[in-house]
Structure 1
Amino acid sequence: MIPKEYLQQIFQEYHFFLTSEQALSFDQYAGLLTEWNEKINLTSILEPKEICIKHFLDSVLLLDAVGEMGKETLIDVGTGAGFPSVPCKIIRPELKVTLLDSLQKRIHFLSVLSNELGQDNHCVHGRAEELGKKAEYREQFDFATARAVAHLRELSEYCLPFVKTGGCFAALKGYEIEEELEESKKAIKVLGGEIQEVRRYSLPEGNKRAIVVIKKISQTPTKYPRNAGKMRKQPIV
C-alpha cells in the first residue's frame, strides 16, 4: 500500500528508526484506512506518500515534542482515524492509549484497527466535555493530545481536565500559531495549565507544523469542561 522504503527514509531524517515490523504495521494501517474510508469519512488524504508524511510522520513528531514516553497513559481526544496516538504506539508499544471519539462508526474502525495492529487500545465512544467530568477519566492521564481544527482555547478546555497534575497536553497545530497562543493564554491558566514549549517542524514537501506543549501545574476547576455551546458563547478571555 505505502512505499515502505520511503517511509523508513523520511522517518530516519527525523531520528525515528523503523524496524521492518513497524514499517509493516504502518502499511497495514494505511491499507485499513483506505479500505474503511470507502464506508465512512476518515480522511481526504489517500495518496500513499501523503499518508506517510501528513498522517504518520506528522503524528510521531508528538514523541519528539514531549520526550521519551514509556508506560505512560495517553488519551487522544477527538482522535478520528487514530491520529496521532496509534502511530505513536507503533513506535512506543508500551504506551497505554485511550482513543476517544464522538462518532460510533469511527470507534468501530479504531477497534478493528487496534486489533489488526495488535494494540491493546481502549476505544471510547463519547464527548470530551462529558467524559472530562467523570471520575474514571478526569485527571487520570499522564498525557492528552489532539490533532484538531478547533481553537487552542477550546481544545485546552476539552483536554486539560483529563490530565494529571504534572502531566501535559500536546496540541498538534498549524505553523502560524502566535495569535492563537495569545488568545488562549488566559484559558490555559484558568484550566490549570502553563505553556511549556512550542515546537515547530518543517516536513517533507514543504508542509509545516507546530506542537504546543502545555504543562498541567494545578487541578482544573470543577466547572470545566463546559458544553460546546457555552465555550463558544462565553470563551475564557
Structure 2
Amino acid sequence: MSSLADDVLPLIRTRADLHTWRASNAHGARMQEAVAMLQQAAAHGDPVEVFAVTQKAIASAVTVIMRADDSSGIMGDAIRSLLELHADMAAPAQVAPAKLVDWMITFQFHSDCDFFTIDPVRYAAALGDVGMARYRRRIDEIRDDLGPATDDLRDRYSHARVMLHYNDQRLAVLDRDVDAIIRTHARDERAAAWLHDAAKALAEIEQYDLAIETSLKV
C-alpha cells in the first residue's frame, strides 16, 4: 500500500464489535479523521493515489457500517463525504471511463449495502461523452433485464427499480431536459415532496422561474 493508504485505511477498517452506540460513534470519529486526511491529500497530493485510496476506503466503509449501530449518523456522513470525494477526484485522476462505469453500476446495483447513492451528474466530466453513453447503455440493459413493473409491490419498489428511477432523474438534470425533469420528479404532482424535488432540480439547471412556479403548487 502507499503511505496515504497506510495512514487512511486502518482508520476505516476494523474487526471490533460495533453493535453498541458508543463503539460505533468512536469508530465513526476515526472514519471522519480518514476523510479529513483524504480531503487534505486531494488538495495537494497525487489525484491518482487519492482516488485509488478513496475507492478502497469506500469499499471498506460500507462493509463496516453494515454491522454497526450508526444511529448517530457519524459513519454515514463519513461515507457520503468519501463518495463526494470519489466523484470529485475521478476526472483529475483520469480514470478509464469503462472502469468507472463498471464501479458505478456495481456500487448501485450489486452491493449488499444499498442505502447510499452516487450522482452520475458529478461523474460526467470524468466519463466524457463516450463514457456517459456507455453508462446509459448499462442502465438501459438493467431496465430491459427487469422488464415492465408488475403489480407486486416488492417488484415495483425493488432496489433496482428505485435506482433506475433515481438515475432517470439525475440524467434528466444532466441533459437539462425540463420535460424529463418534471416527468421524473413531479410525476403526477400529487405529493408535495415530488413537487419540491422537481423545483430543486429545475433550480439546479437555472430554470428559476419554473422552479418557483413548481414550488408554489405545493
TM-score (norm 2): 0.27
Higher Cα Rg, which structure: 2
Choose between structure 1 and 2: higher helix proportion.
2
Of the two structures, which has the highest relative contact order with CA contacts closer than 8 Å and spacing of 6 or more? 1
TM-score (norm 1): 0.25
